[in-house]
Amino acid sequence: MIYLKFYTNVPSRTACDLINETALRLANHQNIVGLKDATGDLSRLESLIENLGEDLKDQFLLYSGDDPTSTQFMLRGGAGTISVTANIVPQTISNICSLVREGRKNEALDLDQTLSDLNEILFVESNPIPVKWMLHRIGRITDGIRLPLSSFNVEFHDRAETILKNLHLLN
């Protein structure tokens, strides 16, 4: 059995950054199929795509792991997004991905803009604390955060509820 691997670069969580030179070496490994990049650095994506070459551009999948920049990431050649925001608004994220694939850039950017407040509130505390609180608030999951996570800070509750109401997810 051959195992295929997808690497994740989240320096904010790991305190270690997978630099493009290393990503290019991984792209040449037969069992490594892609990379999720959560740096939010779009110039790195462009450089990586440029240096992949024609052979690997379509084989080595590059996904965004940074919700605020994911639409721009896809518009610049990324294959898609692995999204926290999609837990709250899955159809909207799916629609953005479809619009990008169809070349409807302005529509994708307009739809993405409607999520800016949501993208911001989802990362005011460590993931997954805010998303779990919001999913509970809109009735998609039961309440409860397990250790070592703590409860979503009450100072953000009103703002989060306003955002959910603006997205018509809460009355």
Predicted confidence (pLDDT) at residue 89 exceeds the cutoff of 80: yes
Mean pLDDT for 158-162 is 98
Residue position matching structure tokens 């690997």: 56
C-beta neighbour count of 19 within 10 angstroms: 12
Residue 71: inside a domain:
yes
Mean pLDDT for 37-47 is 95
Q: 25: phi > 0 → left, psi -120 to 50 → alpha, else beta; which?
A: alpha
Mean pLDDT for 5-21 is 88
Residue 121: inside a domain:
no
- Domain containing 21 equals 1-82
Mean pLDDT for 7-12 is 88
Mean pLDDT of the chain: 93
Predicted confidence (pLDDT) at residue 76 exceeds the cutoff of 80: yes
Q: How far is CA 10 from CA 49, 55, 131, 132, 135, in A?
A: 19, 26, 18, 20, 23
pLDDT of 145:
84
Residue 41: inside a domain:
yes
The amino acid occupying position 9 is N
Number of domains in the chain: 1
pTM over 0.85: yes
Residues 6+ away with beta carbon under 8 Å from 152: 125, 129, 130, 132, 133, 145, 160
Residue 26: inside a domain:
yes
Predicted confidence (pLDDT) at residue 44 exceeds the cutoff of 90: yes
Mean pLDDT for 131-146 is 92
* Structure-token pair, residue 10: 């989240």
- What's the pLDDT band for 37 if we cut at 50, 70, 90? very high
Residue 7: inside a domain:
yes
pLDDT of 30:
87
Residue 124: inside a domain:
no
Got the DSSP string for 94-119? HHHHHHHHTT-HHHHHHHHHTTHHHH
- What's the pLDDT band for 1 if we cut at 50, 70, 90? low
Residue 52: inside a domain:
yes
Mean pLDDT for 117-133 is 96
Mean pLDDT for 62-69 is 97
Residue 114: inside a domain:
no
Predicted confidence (pLDDT) at residue 144 exceeds the cutoff of 70: yes
